[in-house]
Structure 1
Amino acid sequence: MLRVGIVAEGKSEWFVLEEMMRAIHPDIDFQRIRPDISATGSPYGWRGVKAWCQEFGGRLDTFMTGVKGKELDLLVIHADCSMAHNAGANRPCPPAVDTADALRDVVVRQWLRLAAQPPRVLVTHPSRSTDAWVVASLEPPYRRLASIECEDSVENELVARHLLRKKDGEVKKPEGKYRPLAEQAAQRMSEVCAHCTQAARFVEEFQAVLAVVQLERTPEL
């Protein structure tokens, strides 16, 4: 059993990240850390991620190993590239990697206040949103796949295809509607990674951590 904690902007990101990891390694126990839907006044979105990082950055080791028998093997920290301008990390797109790299540096050095990214912490920045990973898996293919990582309103494609609905100017993403879309993205992971460089990066880095964990658990002969 792999134990993975997730600090994300919102609940829909939980679904996508979980399904992507579960498609690679089915035996996972997820701990949804942020957003904290049980806490009154707890901030959502990137501000919630930032607040959590600032609170726990100096004691990540303790947080990940503090509960005996339920130690975390991996901690995933998520923030979409669409919020990068709020952190002075926005860069011209394409390429998507420039903003993702700049935002990762902000998260590690400024929010977590660490000199380097810990080996058991996976920081991911979908460009420009996690919805791009979902839209990249649709059939028939999204007509602007070549620029999907540089578009701010990809989620509107899900509304246009009547997969989700918009209310009061906001695209609603209830679990019953969004979870199947996340599952499809995971099932079509190769297509998603072919068009979304930051999805490919997430998959590669997750597989690398998974390999280390499995190696450490292999008994010596």
Structure 2
Amino acid sequence: MQNKVISVEEAVAMIPDGATIMFGGFLGCGSAHHIIEALANSGKKDFTIIGNDCGMAAGPQGEEFYGMAKLVHNHQVKHVIATHVGMTPDVATQSMVDKTLTVDLIPQGSLAEMIRAGGAGLGGVLTPTGVGTIVEDSPFCLGKQTIDGKDYLLMKPVRADVAVVNAHMIDKFGNMWYKGTTRNFNIVMATAADLVIAEADNVVEIGDIQPENVVTSGAFVNYIVDGGKL
């Protein structure tokens, strides 16, 4: 069996400038904080980042630039695809004032389903969310369709070069178990990228996670970073 456990430095080395990266997490809950920190310190840039949000300007312990907010603050990001960026003022400054950042906002449920479609190889998602709003003008909207008298938007599937995800327990094959609400976007993102790097709060042996408790199969995971030993 391939040894999937690598160092955080090795993980960051696999992510090139200009990569499109999905980041799991919801305002930092369920984010791969050690990988994000190392990426923020790497000097790499021109990323397109996809996530529920861009982290927060301040973390729960008062830390500055929590989660993906570090990457945005460092001007390492050129394009944000997210559902909410209000907790990261740098996004507004760089997109509206500096004009150095492109931002595409997508309804939360739509983005989750678009990523799910990308992972499943589907051609898109039909959703009534956003009909008659500026969502229709999004580059991710392929047009409107009427089915049984109801209007829907056809939204593009979304994939990435890299998915950086997190789970409370990951065994050495990559099977993942999430604690509480940390599962959020991590589940669908692990299916929708060419390279999946999972940060584990705890790396455990194969068999320590009961088969019925596996949420994301290790078949989707290329590499594991042991966040508990960093």
Q: Could you state the TM-score of these two structures normalised by the residue count of structure 1?
A: 0.30
Higher-helix-fraction structure = 1
